A and B are shown apart, each in its own frame.
Chain A
C-alpha cells in the first residue's frame, strides 16, 4: 500500500509537465480552433532558452525560469501574428501542415544553435535534496513541481473567470462574430491567448531541465501525450486537461509497475475508450 501511494506521488509529478503542455494546447484549440502541433516544440524551446539564460546569468535557475518562458511567449506572438492567423479559416489539414513545419524548423534551429547533443543542468540550490515520505526518500524538486501544477490551474481559473480579459476570451470563444460586433479586438485577443499557451508550454519545459535531459526532439514525445490528455479531457476544457494529465501520469507509473509489457499502449487504449463512450471528452462540450 505504501509503495502504491508512493508510486502515485511519482506519477503526479510527471503529470504536471503534461498538464502545462496540455493546458496551452487545449486553451488554444478552445479559443482559436487551431490544433497546434508545434506545441511540444514550444516546451522544448522553453527548456533550451531557460538553460541558455541560466548559463548566461551566473547559473541562477530562477532568473532563467523568469526569462526563458517569456522569450518563448514572444516567439508565440510572431508565430500567431504572421503565420497562424492566415489558416484559421482553412481546413485542419493546413493547420497541421503549418504547425508541423514549425516542429521541423524549431528542431533544426536548436541543433544549429546548441548542437545535437543533450544538455544536463544542475538542480536549483535548496531543491536538490530529498525528504522522507511514506518511509522512502522523495525528491524535494518533484514535490515543488506537484505544487506548481495546481497553482497554475488556480491562476488560469482566476484569469478566465474573474478578469475582464478572461471574460472576453470566453465570450469570443463561444461567439466570435458577436464579440467582434460588440467592439472586442478579437485578433489581438487571439494573439494574447496564443502567447499565454506558448508561455505555459515553455514553463513546463523550463521546469523540466533540472531532472530531464534537454535535447532536440524532446518536444515530440510530450506533444503526443499532451494531445492524448487534451482529447481525454475534452479539447478546449482546462479542467479536462488537468484531470486528464493526472490520469495519464498515474496510468504511466502504475503501468510500469503492474503491466510493464503493456505500459506504452495504456494511454492510447484509454483515449480510444473515451472516444467511443464520450467523443467530446470527459469535460468537453458537445458540439451542437
Chain B
C-alpha cells in the first residue's frame, strides 16, 4: 500500500464521482429542463408541477392510503386531461409515512430536496403532521394537510409560531371532540369512558370532548380511561377496564383497521348490550364501514371529515358519481380531502400566476373554494379550512353494500370551530 497507489485510487474515485455528478447527475436527477428554461418556453410557469403526497400505505391503517391515492389520482387525471394548471401538467408521487413523525419528515425532505416537489400534501397521523409541519418553514413549500387533525398544527404552528407554509383542508379535532360533545349532550348517558388511541390525536380529542361536554352538561362524569398504543391487536384488557366502571357511554378514538378490531372485540365482550351509546369520531370512514359491514352496531354514533351523502349539492353528487365510475367504490373522506387539496393548489397557482411559496400563501389565505364537501373558507389567521361535516348514527341500508348514517346532526362550523386567539378550552 504505497502512498502513490492511494493517491491514484483517490484520483480515480474523485474523478469518477465528479464526472458522474457533473454529466450524469444533471440528466438523472433533473431529466427535465430546469425552471428558468421553462419560463422562456410558451410562457409556462413550471412544467410539470410536482406534488409530494404522504399517507399510511400499509398495515391496519393502509386502507386510508389506498383511498387517498384514489382521490388524488382522480384530481390529477381530471386536471391534466383538461389542460393542466395554466398549461403545466401535474405530477404526484406517494410515500408511506408509517405513522411515524421522523419517517414523515424524512419523506418531506426527500420530496423537496431530491424530487423537486412544489407542494406537499396528505399526512394521516396527527403526530406525523406535526413532525412535517415543524420543518415547513425551512423547506419553504406549501403543505396542505388532508387528514392529521391535531389543533396544534393550525393553532400553534401556524397561528402562534407563524409557520405560514402550513394549511389544512380537512376538519380538525374540533369535529372529533367539540362537535361530538354537542351531539352527546342530548343523550341520556351520564357516565362516560374512553378507549383511546394513545398518541396526540386520541388525547387531544378526549380532552376537547370532556371540556365541552362538562360545560354543556354539568351532570356528566368521566369515570375511566384505557389507552392503547398503535398496532394493539387485543383490546380485551382495555374493554374490561372501562366496563368495570359501569359506563353508559364509550368514546373511542381508534380508527381504520383498529376501529374494526376494537368494535368486533367489544361486541364479543357484550359491550353493546350494556351501554347506551358508543361514539367513534372516525367511525364513518369507508374502510371501517366496509371492514365491519353487517357487524356494525346501530348504537354507534360516528362522523368523519367528509360524508359522501352530505351536502346534497350537484357538485357533491357529480364527484361521487365520477369517483364511483373510476374506482367502483364510494369515496372515503381522505379521498375527498386530498382531491380538494389538489384543486386548492390549482386555484392558488392560477390566482398567483406562479408557484413561488409566498405568493401561493397569499393566494390561499382567505380563499373560498367550492368543493364536494361544500364551500370551504380558508381562514387567513390559522390556515384552517372552515366547513362542516355531520355526525350520524350507523344504520344498515340495503341500498349500499356497507352501513350508512341516519339521524344526521349538522352543527354549523361557526358553532364548533375554535377561533383565534385560541384561548384554552
Q: What bracket does the count of chain A residues touching chain B fall in?
A: 35 or more
Which residues 231-260 of A sit at the B interface, judged by CB distance below 8 A? 252-253, 256-257, 260
Q: What bracket does the count of chain B residues touching chain A fall in?
A: 35 or more
A138 cross-chain contacts in B, Cβ below 8 A: 269
Given contacts A137-B269, A256-B241, contact A211 B234 (CB under 8 A): yes
Given contacts A3-B244, A120-B264, A260-B226, contact A253 B59 (CB under 8 A): no
Is B424 an interface residue, CB under 8 A from the partner? no
Taken together as a complex, chains A and B put the C-alpha atoms of A212 and B60 apart, in Å, by: 10
As a 0/1 sequence over residues 228 to 258 of chain B, the CB contacts with chain A under 8 angstroms (1 = contact) are 1101011011101101100000000000011
Is B57 an interface residue, CB under 8 A from the partner? yes
Taken together as a complex, chains A and B put the C-alpha atoms of A221 and B233 apart, in Å, by: 10
Report how many A-B pairs have Cβ atoms within 8 Å.
106
Is B273 an interface residue, CB under 8 A from the partner? yes
A74 cross-chain contacts in B, Cβ below 8 A: none
As a 0/1 sequence over residues 208 to 245 of chain A, the CB contacts with chain B under 8 angstroms (1 = contact) are 10011101111001000000000000000000000000
Which residues 86-124 of A sit at the B interface, judged by CB distance below 8 A? 111, 116-118, 120, 123
CB of A215 within 8 A of CB of B59, answer yes
CB of A211 within 8 A of CB of B264, answer yes
Shortest CB-to-CB span from B118 to chain A, Å, is 27
Shortest CB-to-CB span from B234 to chain A, Å, is 5
Given contacts A117-B62, A117-B63, A213-B260, contact A11 B269 (CB under 8 A): no
A60 cross-chain contacts in B, Cβ below 8 A: none
Is A50 an interface residue, CB under 8 A from the partner? no
Closest residue of chain A to B229 (Cβ to Cβ) is A264
B260 cross-chain contacts in A, Cβ below 8 A: 118, 120, 213
Is A139 an interface residue, CB under 8 A from the partner? yes
A73 cross-chain contacts in B, Cβ below 8 A: none
CB of B58 within 8 A of CB of A217, answer yes
Secondary structure of the B contact surface, majority rule: helix
Closest residue of chain A to B231 (Cβ to Cβ) is A221
Closest residue of chain B to A13 (Cβ to Cβ) is B236
Which of B63, B234, B238, B261 counts the most chain A CB atoms within 10 A? Answer: B234
Taken together as a complex, chains A and B put the C-alpha atoms of A10 and B287 apart, in Å, by: 28
Closest residue of chain B to A208 (Cβ to Cβ) is B233
A111 cross-chain contacts in B, Cβ below 8 A: 58
CB of A136 within 8 A of CB of B257, answer no
Is B270 an interface residue, CB under 8 A from the partner? yes
CB of B237 within 8 A of CB of A252, answer yes
B417 cross-chain contacts in A, Cβ below 8 A: none
Is A142 an interface residue, CB under 8 A from the partner? yes
Is B268 an interface residue, CB under 8 A from the partner? yes
Shortest CB-to-CB span from A22 to chain B, Å, is 16
Which residues 16-35 of A sit at the B interface, judged by CB distance below 8 A? none
Given contacts A130-B268, A137-B273, A216-B59, contact A6 B237 (CB under 8 A): no
Among A118, A212, A260, contact of B62 (Cβ-Cβ < 8 Å):
A118
Shortest CB-to-CB span from A135 to chain B, Å, is 11
Is B291 an interface residue, CB under 8 A from the partner? yes
Taken together as a complex, chains A and B put the C-alpha atoms of A10 and B240 apart, in Å, by: 8
Taken together as a complex, chains A and B put the C-alpha atoms of A190 and B234 apart, in Å, by: 34
Given contacts A14-B234, A256-B226, contact A130 B58 (CB under 8 A): no
Given contacts A116-B62, A139-B269, contact A218 B233 (CB under 8 A): yes
Which residues 4-25 of B sit at the A interface, judged by CB distance below 8 A? none
A283 cross-chain contacts in B, Cβ below 8 A: none
Taken together as a complex, chains A and B put the C-alpha atoms of A111 and B231 apart, in Å, by: 17
CB of B241 within 8 A of CB of A118, answer no
Shortest CB-to-CB span from A34 to chain B, Å, is 27
Is B88 an interface residue, CB under 8 A from the partner? no
Taken together as a complex, chains A and B put the C-alpha atoms of A173 and B90 apart, in Å, by: 63
Given contacts A3-B240, A257-B241, contact A118 B63 (CB under 8 A): yes
Taken together as a complex, chains A and B put the C-alpha atoms of A256 and B229 apart, in Å, by: 11
As a 0/1 sequence over residues 43 to 73 of chain A, the CB contacts with chain B under 8 angstroms (1 = contact) are 0000000000000000000000000000000
B233 cross-chain contacts in A, Cβ below 8 A: 208, 212-213, 218, 221
CB of B291 within 8 A of CB of A215, answer no
A208 cross-chain contacts in B, Cβ below 8 A: 233
Which of A253, A256, A260 counts the most chain B CB atoms within 10 A? Answer: A256
A130 cross-chain contacts in B, Cβ below 8 A: 268-270
Taken together as a complex, chains A and B put the C-alpha atoms of A256 and B260 apart, in Å, by: 20
B228 cross-chain contacts in A, Cβ below 8 A: 256
Shortest CB-to-CB span from A151 to chain B, Å, is 21
Among A13, A116, A221, A264, contact of B57 (Cβ-Cβ < 8 Å):
A116
CB of A117 within 8 A of CB of B261, answer no
Which of A10, A130, A138 counts the most chain B CB atoms within 10 A? Answer: A10
Is B265 an interface residue, CB under 8 A from the partner? yes
Which of B58, B62, B240 counts the most chain A CB atoms within 10 A? Answer: B240
Shortest CB-to-CB span from A221 to chain B, Å, is 6
CB of B237 within 8 A of CB of A257, answer yes
CB of B60 within 8 A of CB of A136, answer no
Which of A3, A136, A213 counts the most chain B CB atoms within 10 A? Answer: A213
Which of A3, A13, A264 counts the most chain B CB atoms within 10 A? Answer: A3
- 7 smallest beta-carbon distances between A and B, as pairs: A137-B270, A116-B58, A139-B268, A253-B237, A10-B236, A117-B62, A256-B237
> A residues within 8 Å of B by Cβ?
3, 6-7, 10-11, 13-14, 111, 116-118, 120, 123, 128, 130, 136-139, 141-142, 208, 211-213, 215-218, 221, 252-253, 256-257, 260, 264
If A117-B62, A218-B233 are given as contacts, then 5 extra A-B residue pairs at C-beta distance below 8 Å, sorted by A number, are A10-B240, A117-B59, A137-B270, A215-B257, A253-B240
> B residues within 8 Å of A by Cβ?
57-60, 62-63, 65-66, 225-229, 231, 233-234, 236-238, 240-241, 243-244, 257-258, 260-261, 264-265, 268-270, 273, 287, 291
23 intermolecular pairs with C-beta atoms under 8 Å apart: A7-B237, A7-B240, A10-B234, A10-B237, A13-B234, A13-B236, A116-B59, A116-B65, A118-B60, A120-B264, A120-B291, A128-B268, A138-B269, A139-B268, A211-B234, A211-B265, A211-B268, A213-B260, A217-B58, A217-B59, A218-B59, A256-B226, A256-B228
